[in-house]
Amino acid sequence: MKEYLIVGTDVKVGKTHVICALLRDLRAGGISACGIKPLECGDRADARALRAASESGESLELFNPVYLRAGAEPGVAAELERRSLAADIFCTARDRWNPAPDIMLVEALGGWLVPLAPGLTQADAAELLNAPIILVVGNRPGAVNHTLLTVQDIQRRGLECCGIILNHLSDDWDSASLTNRKVIKDSTGLPILAELIHGQDEIDSSFLKAIH
């Protein structure tokens, strides 16, 4: 199985939308693929979307094993339910799949450094998973700063950020949305793997085959 961790620079940048588009293209090409969201807060809409795009009849709990009802930061939401989140949350969710698909896309929650517990962030969980990372960037003002900070910490931890998917969050094309692609590519040295205009729900997944 090949696995990839799909991370966003922030909340509401379209990670689930991007993953679902990738899953549809992979499965249309005859590749066994699924998307999971190990941790979800507030509701399970993302997990349901991933299950639908994976064309699976498996239980929602397999796609989203840890669900917290409060729409808050996960550490806070867990505390409200008197639960604890562990650093192996991504690994545990992945290991529940038997048989495993050819490709698994693991969706992170919110931004890179979201706290899971005192002294524990989502980035720590990503270190244990140690999967190639694809960064989804919402193309809006401030995207460059968010991208650079995220990429710098990913690389500081010795993890591989394979590239960036730029997602347009609205139909408006302001100065930032017109220039962000070049600035981000030049500043990070990472490839722009895909760029989705607002409302686009198709994506070529062939770049996944080139990531080792």
Contact 143, 12 (CB under 8 A): no
Q: How far apart are CA 144 and CA 192, in angstroms?
A: 13
Q: What are phi and psi of 131, to 5 degrees?
A: -100, 155
Q: Could you tell me which CATH number the domain at 2-210 has?
A: 3.40.50.300
pLDDT of residue 51: 98
DSSP-assigned states of every residue in 11-41: TTS-HHHHHHHHHHHHHHTT--EEEE-SEEE
Q: How far apart are CA 46 and CA 123, in angstroms?
A: 20
pLDDT of residue 212: 54
Residues 17-74: tens digit of each pLDDT: 999 999 999 999 999 999 999 999 999 999 999 999 999 999 999 999 999 999 999 9
3-class secondary-structure state, position 172: coil
Which residue of the set 2, 15, 37, 185 is catalytic? 37
pTM strictly above 0.85 = yes
Residues 72-114: tens digit of each pLDDT: 999 999 999 999 999 999 999 999 999 999 999 999 999 999 9
Quick check: is 37 catalytic?
A: yes
Token pair recorded at residue 204: 């070529």
